[in-house]
Amino acid sequence: MNLETYIRQMPKAELHVHLEGTLEPEHIFALAARNNIELPYKTPGEVVQAYDFHDLPSFLTIYYAAMGVLQTEQDFYELAYHYFQRAHADNIVYVEPFFDPQGHTSRGVPFKVIITGIHRAQVDAKANLGIESNLIMCFLRDLSAESAMEHLELSRPFRDWIIGVGLDSDEKDNPPVKFARVFEQARKIGYKLTMHCDVNQLDIVDHLWQCLNEIKVDRIDHGINSLEDERLCEEIARRGLGLTVCPVSNRFVVQSLTSAEIKLMLAKGMKATINSDDPGYFRAYLTDNFLALIDEAEFTLEEIITLNTNAFEVSWLDDKSKTAHIERARDFKPVAPRAV
């Protein structure tokens, strides 16, 4: 059986995708026109030409500038619904997407506008596409802990629409412990906890240990550098903590899809998963990430199945739903693609 066919058709889960990172150049243009915003580019093609990412800050500068086109509830609805449609084409059946409220409230967009638009898209994606989703609110780690706490409070009326909180943006000099009180409070509210430990960041092994010992996260976003510390690997495996690895995103920083590292994580019993991160910018959705991996290195069918079922296992679904999804993914048999 052809591994590519299997990957394309297998029912998938995605646990690390920034909704604002799914903005496609054409959509940036359409929203800018609708909201009377002037862009420094003449065509969507020119936008892609400007995507010269080589590290986290060079990506974030463009990412925050472009999200300025998102202004109304309908804009947020369309952003999320477009992603769900694209996810459906990849046979994604479950997703826990991130959103960055501070990237919008800082521009005067009310929290309620952002979350209501996204939530409406989630309801429609369930009804029309059969995609189930649970939303994760991320705090921007280069802003203050006070700002994060304010947004935690803003989220309270929408508690039932949010499953957990995360931490993203520029990691340099912004360690997990800076947000220890915020995450402690989030836990009390009942939110699940995750944090970015981005690839090759300064003090990254310290950040990973802080996630485990100080914050007591339920999951880790990226986490590739845990392989530098054997004890850290053992502890991550012992706790069954999921790692949401993003191969194409990593390639912009380390010039590799980290396929060797992913295989090593699996061999050590660590629950690695495959994700797209910011697919509108990195030009690769979830299936593309899997296909790029098998192009770079030899992966067995069993390894692909493990990466895929790990995502359901370390998701924040209830146990009954997890079991049903894992059984469905394990029992899945691809059909032969039609000849053209």
- Which residues here bind Zn ion, judged by CB under 5 A? 277
Indicate whether 63 belongs to the interface with ligand ADE (CB under 6 A).
yes
Q: Go through 203-230 and write b for each residue having 16 or more CB atoms within 10 A of its CB, e for each that does not.
A: ebeebbbbbbeebebbbbbbbbbbbebe
For ligand ADE, what does the binding mask look like between residues 149 and 188, x meaning CB under 6 A?
-------------------xx-------------------
Residue 169 interacts, among ligand ADE, Zn ion, none and using kind-specific CB cut-offs from 5 to 8 Å, with: ligand ADE
Judge contact between 80 and 97, C-beta under 8 A: yes
Tokens for 73, please give them. Answer: 């509830």
The three-state secondary structure class of 329 is helix
Q: Among ligand ADE, Zn ion, none, what does residue 14 contact (CB within 5–8 Å per kind)? A: none
Site string for ligand ADE, 94-133 (x = CB under 6 A): ----------------------------------------
Q: Which is nearer to Zn ion, 118 or 326 (CB)?
A: 118
DSSP count for the chain of H helices, then E strands: 17, 10
Burial (0-12, 13-18, 19+ Cβ within 10 Å), 292? middle
Our CB check for ligand ADE shows the closer of 5 and 61 to be: 61
Q: Does 27 bind ligand ADE (CB under 6 A)?
A: no
End-to-end, the C-alpha distance of the chain in Å comes to 19
- The binding track of 261-280 with respect to ligand ADE, each residue x by CB under 6 A or -, is ----------------xx--
Residue 73 lies near ligand ADE (rule: CB under 6 A)? no
Indicate whether 56 belongs to the interface with ligand ADE (CB under 6 A): yes
How many residues are there in the chain? 340
Q: Which residue is nearest to ligand ADE (CB)?
A: 168
Half-sphere exposure for 40 (CA within 13 Å, toward CB)? 7
Identity of the residue numbered 233: C
From Zn ion, ligand ADE, none, interface partner of 263 (C-beta below 5 to 8 A by class): none
Q: How far is the CB of 96 from Zn ion (least distance, A)?
A: 12
Residue that the structure tokens 């369930």 belong to: 126
Between 132 and 277, name the residue whose CB sits nearer to Zn ion.
277
Per DSSP, helices labelled H in 130-229 are 145-155, 180-189, 204-210
Which residues lie near ligand ADE (CB under 6 A)? 18, 21, 56, 63, 168-169, 196, 198, 249, 277-278
